[in-house]
Amino acid sequence: MASPVTHIPANTAASANTAFRSALDVVREVEPRVAAAIGAEIEDQRASLKLIASENYASPAVLLAMGNWLSDKYAEGTAGRRFYAGCRNVDTVESLAAEHARALFGAQHAYVQPHSGIDANLVAFWAVLSQRVESPALGRAGVRQVNDLGEQDWAELRRELGNQRMLGMSLDTGGHLTHGFRPNISGKMFDQRSYGTDPATGLIDYAALRATAREFRPLILVAGYSAYPRLVNFRLMREIADEVGATLMVDMAHFAGLVAGKVLTGDFDPVPHAQIVTSTTHKSLRGPRGGLVLCDSELAEHVDRGCPMVLGGPLSHVMAAKAVAFAEARRPEFQDYAQRVVDNAKALAEGLLRRGATLVTGGTDNHLVLADVSGYGLTGRQAEAALLDSGIVTNRNAVPQDPNGAWYTSGVRIGTPALTTRGLGTAEMDEIAGLIDTVLRGTTPAPGSGGTPSKAGYRLDDALRDGVAKRAADLLAGFPLYPGIDLA
């Protein structure tokens, strides 16, 4: 299937090969160990089954857009309103990125400066707080612009706003640490409460969520997930938010590519329903590492204050790469890609279930599968390490009511965006399910201290490990990564 990573026209591949080889030659002259690590990374990625749900492969065009002189510019402010002179070219790339993002997602406003998903969420949190403070109907009537407040005003606002309420999905049922998890800044900014899933089904219980919202009455209702394998009904989420006077914020970092690719529409597309939407630009969107905020026009001026409120100088070279990635995602073939991501995840889930694995919610509707590996007698950390040794890259993840906590966990999260980019299909996903099952069945916990099983150590037969790794490599040989690019 067509992909800007695997189907590179011959002339483009030759140009990209020259560009990357030349770049590494320049780096090698200054610090050869860095050049070696870069070269080793592409070989590692070529040789392993990348099944981390939050990773993908960016196109050569996206990667090359980051390595240029835009990196040398300071550009605080927004396009046309900078605190530094000489930013006309930064204005161009930022405006293009925002234009593509609005068109791609059907959003009223796009802010493309956040450096990461966490930064995007911080911008969103403070934008909502700022709107509430400055609105006579919602906050302290007549208050000056937040950026104009004096130190005494800020002290008062911290007292008044520092304990505002947030309702987000719990970490063990698939939420993200930025949705109010206590060690994260979001858990310190807000008086936070979590909603979870039905213990019997693993699905969001909207009736229970509504009851919690009515009782807790949050300022912000956060929807979105990092490890929930089903769809979210954002129309219902907005109904609940409106009923209690909350702002609906959706963090679509994981599934933004499925929204861009028009796989998630109607009630399952967050953009028409949420007042503010955040995302990363890598993961299923297949762009550079970075963040994005989409919002209604009423929140636009508050979002645009992200720098300097919580962001440092914009990464102009990364905004250029975002513009390229959004332009790629607007092409018709990206919709085909997004659908195949979901098809592959379902095939992977079905293959695991058929072999006796236990999956949270019993399957998937999106790009990821969450396997409970306790049935294999393993912790998530043991399963992750054994699979990695066998050429299969996943990450451990908590499952609902996880007895092993967030460090060792009882689950492994498996995603299909990256391998779909390489062109693998449903037949290959079934074979990969078999390889995963083979490794997990062949892994046993190693003895720990006091004769009890270790939560981290494990035993895996060398021949089994090597056999799976070889089969994984053979499978990938038919789906070359960045063909035509040879750094040797």
Catalytic machinery residues: 74, 76, 251, 280, 283, 289
Q: How far apart are CA 311 and CA 120, in angstroms?
A: 9
Helix, strand, coil distribution of the chain in percent, nearest 5: 50, 15, 35
Burial class of residue 131 (count of CB atoms within 10 Å of its CB; 0-12, 13-18, 19+):
buried
* 26 CB neighbour count, 10 Å cutoff: 9
Tell me which H or E stretch contains 278: strand 276-280
Question: What number of CA atoms fall less than 13 Å from residue 234's CA on the CB side?
Answer: 25
Query: How far apart are alpha carbons 473 and 315 in whole angstroms?
Result: 36
Pairing, β 247-251 against β 276-280: parallel
Q: Are 283 and 326 in contact (CB under 8 A)?
A: no
- At 297, the amino acid letter reads S
> Is 411:398 a contact under the CB 8 Å cutoff?
yes
CA dist., res. 367 & res. 264, Å (int): 11
> For residue 308, is the peptide bond before it cis, meaning its omega torsion is within 30 degrees of 0?
yes
DSSP 378: -
Q: What whole-number distance in Å separates Cα of residue 117 and Cα of residue 99? A: 20
The answer to whether 171 and 228 are in contact (CB under 8 A) is no
Residue 367 DSSP class: S
Rg (CA), the chain: 23
Bridge-based pairing state of the strands 49-50 and 77-78: unpaired
- In this structure, the strands spanning 190-195 and 109-111 are unpaired
Hey, what are 407's tokens?
Answer: 């460090």
